[in-house]
Structure 1
Amino acid sequence: MTALLSLEGKKTDPAGWTPFIKQYIAESYAESPDQYSDECAILDQLRSQSVNIPSHPNVLARLQQYYAQLAQLMTKFPLDIGIQFSWYPIAGTGAPSVGHKNGYYEKACVLFSIASMFSELACSESKDSPEGARQSCLYFQNAAGCYQHLRDVVIHEIRVPPPADMSHKSLTLLSTLMLAQAQECSWRKALLENVRHGAIARLAIKLSEFYLTLADILTDDGIASLFPSSWALQVRTKAHYFEAIAHHRKGIECEQNGKFGEQITRLQLSDAALKLVQQDINGSQSFWGSTATISDALLRDVHDLQEMIAEQLASAIRDNDSIYMDIVPQASQVALIPGFEIVKPLVPIIVSEPFNELDLAGDDPKKLKPLFTKLVPFAVHQAISVYVDRKDLLLKMDILKKIKELDEECNSTLQDLGLPSSLEALVQPTGLPDSILLKAEEIQHEGGCQALYNMFDNVEMLSTKNAALIDEAVNELGKEHDEDERLRRRFRLEWIRPTSISLTAQLLEKGDQLSQTLENARNADKIVREKLKNWSKLIDLLSLPEKIIEQSIPSGTIDETQGGVGDDIIQRLQSLVDECYANIRDRQRIADEAQSMSEQDDISPLILKRASELSDRSSTVKIETSQFDPLFTTELGKYNELLKQVKKHSQEQWVLLNKIKDANNDFTTKRKGSGEISRREKALQNLEQAYLKFKEIRTNLVEGIKFHSQFSKALMKYRNICVDFVVARQLEAEELTR
């Protein structure tokens, strides 16, 4: 195997992303940069562990991961966030670095290093087995693809003149060189697998064409100066060497086919090509003073082939003159050997399509997890906010509110009709009905009245803290105002800064608005507390053991069981009431499913992907929220099935409630009540109502806790603004006093 050429990756100076990313986030996003500390550290670690490192498959994998992260990183940040990336040219040590404050420049240099590492790995593979030659060929094709992708795509992104070693001509040379060496590995594999001589000749002649193209490119002194001086001589030598091999192998095929005259011509052409090789070698010896510019392996291969050709040519001429007497054609008369190109540039998917290889949707554990996924450009932030608003509106108004209205209508209708209490009092004149038992178990499971009082204490605690935040902020402003007036009286006309009242008017007005909001919330809390006080006894009763609850309810007598109502009427009414409660449970399932779907509905990855498509990964393209409307429509379509179910419930409930009213009319018309049954019915209705009030109060308290918790964030922000203002005024006062 002749010597193969490779490049080391570009070297770079240390550079840390963290301070620059954090500063940019702090200045350009409404988010704290500290929450991205871990991701910044991962990015810095990825850079340090992938650049300036000797070639190895694991290092190559990290380098490709860093490249993919850079690709998606540039969709979130502009090309210049202040960090200087300095990379050294491949000319060798001593050459000054080339630096730019440009993330795309970093990306281009990283891709150059990826391509170079592929070339180093290809050279390190053993070529003594078909598998080794195949792997080496694959690496070289990857290197060629990366250099070509860098030339045709990535270089155009950096928007600054590329360094000389990444010029169009330089990258064309490198891509062609890697492709030639991939072809050479395929030729080697064909030798090891004893492929037909004609096929080997076609592979070799294409190799010669590759190296002739490279030799032509290296006649440009500007390009040749960028690479080792031996390259020009080596590719020219290989061009003639593989031409010789091609004619030699074609000559063997001619001998096998009885074309002894053409065999001689082919061997003569092979010998002539090797003489050109010798001329190049002799020329290099006179110019350089030694043959060090050509590898010893290549010299040995050339020498061995020369001896073989000389011996075979003499033998072929002797045999033809004495035995075959075949006409020996002129060199111009033999057919050209058609080249067979078996290789092509291969760009790794993670390089050509990094976004497809990143787990942007967060659902593929096999893919690379992108960094800064929650950090989105402002326009995307707006788009996400619009979608969340639309989703919440759909969820709250079209699903949850509608379900609540249907449930309230259902419970209200049953309550007005005295159901199911009147039915249960008649059908089950003694003991506790199952419906009451289930409601009692639910209240006991939720903690009864004590749980409600605990929740109310939590509401009051949060409310008190919120009031303290407002008081603290307003008091700080008041103290600052008093101090400013004191200093104004002391220094009189020398105290020239604006008055506090002129600067704090808006802050004080905001404080009044926040105080009014808190007061309204506290009034609502009082109503809930009064409601809890009024219903606590009955709720407490439902929290007691079954026997005690049963003893509190009057019992009828067995002979009053049906009170004159037929079994068919009772069964029909019971069935309709059961259906009503089943519908309530089904609507709860719909509400839970909608809530769960909404909580898991993160449209950020899809909007980021769409934003990337709209901008073509350019930070200069303006993105409008309206451009995401088709995506919003598609994603909100996930809720269509739930909306259909709610609509179906709405349509069917009207019919169901009318049936219940009609059946209840029949029931009450034919029922013969008694005092005991009426009192039992009333007691059961009170327990039903207590259960509904328990659920209502608990919902009110959950909403209250949620409100005060969220409101405290706004109050803390307001308090901090006031405190910062006061501190700034104090420092200003101290300076002005001095």
Structure 2
Amino acid sequence: MNTNLLYIPLRQSRPIDLGQELSEIINHDFLQPSTTFEPDLNLVSNLRHLITTKFKNEQITKQHQEWLVQYLKYLQAIKRKFPNDVIEFGWYGLIPYGSPFKLRSLKFEELNIWYQLASVYSQLGCQESRQSDVGLKNACSYFQLSCGCFQMILQNLIDIPDLSRETIECLKYIMLAQAQETIWQKALSNMNHSVISKLSYQTSEYYSQALKLTNDDIKIEWINHLTVKKFHFKAASLLRRAIISQDCFKYGEQVAYLELANKSLELASKYTSYVNQLVLDDFQGLFQTIKQSLTNAHRDNDLIYHKIVPSEQELPSLVGVSMVKPIQPVITTSDIFNNLVPYIIIHVGQAFKERQDVFIQEQFHIPIQQLNTFVRKNISDRGLPASIDSITQSENIPDSIVHHSQEINIQLIVDSLSEIGELRTNCIQIVNECKSRIEGTSNFESLQARIDNMKRYLDRAKLGDDIVQEKYVDIKPYLDIYSQGYSGLISYIPNSKFVKLDDNLLTIISDLRSLLADIDKVITNRNQTLNDIDIRARENNIVPKLIEHYNTHSGELTEYSFEPIYDEHIKIFAQDLRYLENQKREQIELDLKLDDLTKKFQQACTVTATPRQESLQALETAYVKYLEVITNLNEGKKFYTDFIIKSNVVLKECEEHLYKQRIESRDLEQQQRQPQQSTTVEVVSPKTTKPIYNPNLN
């Protein structure tokens, strides 16, 4: 490419089958089959393949620009439907040695495509003929578009080791300077010296700004190029100011401006190594013109005008005028994956489902279980129904004991304890894996704090597990009796002598049995209500409401935007909340009745406690504790299951931290070992005999 301007070389990417990657994600995480979107998947897969295989420096056409713009449109649609971190993309850095930098981020891919588009625009700009007004206009437009792409990158830049803000700022100002240079070149043919001087000085300022932002990513050839351009256009501006001074008969100022211009080019001459020959030709031409003009001006002023030559501080400051700015290409979204339920809907829907589950657990299951546990314990503490069964059924096994025997399942406890042990082992393994991932790394304090918290949670949970285990051991002998069925119960419960009861006591006992039956009905009704609530929660899916809200607002939503939908959705349980309050009041009334009848029974009953009553009471107490153990075990399983889900998130962050640390260490080692690039590296604009800034090798 024969030009005295620079183009931005393309980057290279690790090939991936984007369509296949998205297909697997849809099948795994979405509620729809990927085959429904096969045409869209093929489109994105084929287009990315073109972008990673058909782009070569100095062989760029408008077709390449159209491909990149179309791919950016696809990415906009993909970003709306998929989470950011679902696919790992790999792009080679500005210095293309070693492995590519990899990141699970759609935003990372998008930034690199913006970089590629900036490169394409810069190369299209360099391809334009600068011998015609149309060519200059087109070149200026392309360079401003390239600048706009870099501006877009800066506005959305994430932490990428090889793509620093300073480097992108430098490239942005290079494009801005070259756009201004085309304006300056067009002005040469039809503008006055004052305008040309201002355009030239502003061009110099843009090159100067780019030069200030150079770093190790920018090759010395480009640094020299920018330096020569900076002084060249400053000298050109001073030359025009000298001509203006001559036209105004200010011959002393004319000499001063020419001296400054000559001094500027003398500084530039120190940086001409490896600079493009076309740039050097322009530089030498201007240098000769200024030298000759300075010689003539000195002679005329010394022999004819005798004007005082002012110092640099006494001259009016140069003023620039910018005629260019970053132009960001407008990228609309594509209609691909239009019928795919957005992942934000799935994510929010799942989050709301979990919140609803917690709501139901905390607002209904736990309170009702507490009410039931309290009333059972209250009954057991009063010696019921054992105290009345022992005197009314001297030989038969009470129905309540038979029902308990049918309900109790020792194997359920054994299996639950085993499951909790396995879950706890998995939790410990995850915590240990987290610790191993960050060992030997740096800047891990926040992760270490979270891992320490996880370990403390597990330690506290172990204390709770031990308490439940002790409860089980305490009641195990009685549960064994229950599990033996009728024969075991009849052998354990002794008979008692028949006792004739007076009518008053029989009435009290009848009232007590009726009240206990009512309490059993209340407990059964509560459990059925819980079952109904669970069914209603499953049947009332919030996702359709979320989709409707999403479509109504054209998809411009965050997760917090759906909160009103959840608040409205959860109102379907308002009646159940009122039911729970009624149950609390009803239980208070039942407790008062139970207390009153128990006192009457104790006053009326003259029969002392018998071994039969003590046996029945022991079995009743064991049953109440059995229910507590079952509840505790269910809570334990839920705790460890939730812990695994949350700790896996921390493990993933630890793995990403380790990967990033390894990449940084590898890059540092490569920089320390990597010798200077040989001259066999492909040379890009500005063309020299030595390698220049080249982020991609073709």
Q: TM-score, normalised by structure 2?
A: 0.50
Structure ranking higher on relative contact order (CA contacts 8 Å, 6+ apart)? 2
